[in-house]
Amino acid sequence: MFLAEAGADFIKIGIGGGSICITREQKGIGRGQATAVIEVAAARDEYFEKTGIYIPICSDGGIVYDYHMTLALAMGADFIMLGRYFSRFDESPTNKVSINGQYMKEYWGEGSARARNWQRYDLGGDAKLKFEEGVDSYVPYAGPLKDNVGMTLAKIKSAMCNCGALSIPELQQKARITLVSSVSIVEGGAHDVVLKDSTANRNQ
């Protein structure tokens, strides 16, 4: 509530959940992204009921697959940080390199030695980054932004349709988040078959 009462235009949720962030293992700070979004969304709605002021929230971290975006929105996020997602595209201003025969794009965190963003992460004193909170890495190259964003939006819209929702607020109202077992996760993808593409790749 402190940030809302201080006049924040929106609140960003997430510490250590990003793919290139190592804050949790370095400092032990942060919590599960889903839990954080759900609890902050509940506090936002409570604040809105009391004051009539709606503070949007942004989920920052934990997005790897397209369906993760739908989950974040369903849990209460108004919008999402997508650093890894956009870093894979032609439009990302980083080098495209070949690693073991696969094209990759460079991707690094603000808390990494490469970025050297000590003004954000250092505690003062010497103008230097005392330890890293991010890594220098690669992500699989995915081509042009236009083609990928169109596919992602199609998946989100289809998932919303499955929930009977025509808007993000309606999705947040109608979607039901449940715990699943490891067996359910396996069942959610292709299983107990030999994929043709996988077979072809193994034979190359």
pLDDT at 34: 93
d(CA 75, CA 73): 5
Could you tell me the pTM of the whole model?
Answer: 0.83
Cite the active site residues: 21, 120
Whole-angstrom CA distances from 19 to 49, 57, 82, 123, 199 are: 35, 20, 10, 24, 29
Has residue 200 got a pLDDT over 60?
A: no
Residues 128/121, Cβ–Cβ less than 8 Å: no
161 phi, psi to nearest 5 deg: -60, -40
Q: Are strands 79-81 and 57-60 parallel, antiparallel or unpaired?
A: parallel
Answer yes or no: are the C-beta atoms of 163 and 171 closer than 8 Å.
Answer: yes
Determine the 3-state secondary structure of 59 from DSSP: strand
Backbone angles phi, psi at 117, to 5 degrees: -85, 65
How many angstroms separate the Cα of 69 from the Cα of each of 72, 152, 159, 166?
Answer: 5, 9, 11, 16
How many degrees, rounded to 5, is the angle at CA 203 between CA 200 and CA 204?
90
H or E element at residue 113:
none
Q: What is the mean pLDDT of residues 23-32?
A: 88
* Residues 34, 10, 63, 32, CA torsion sign: negative
Q: Looking at the predicted structure, is the pLDDT value of residue 126 above 70?
A: no
Tokens of 143: 């081509």
pLDDT of residue 123: 61
163 touches 175 (CB < 8 A): yes
CATH C-level class of 2-203: alpha beta
Residue indicated by tokens 């997508």: 82
- For residue 149, give both structure tokens: 């964003």
Residue 165 parent element (H or E): none
Residue 1 has pLDDT above 80, yes or no: no
pLDDT at 172: 96
Reported as a single tens digit per residue, the pLDDT across 90-116 is: 999 999 999 999 999 998 877 777 776
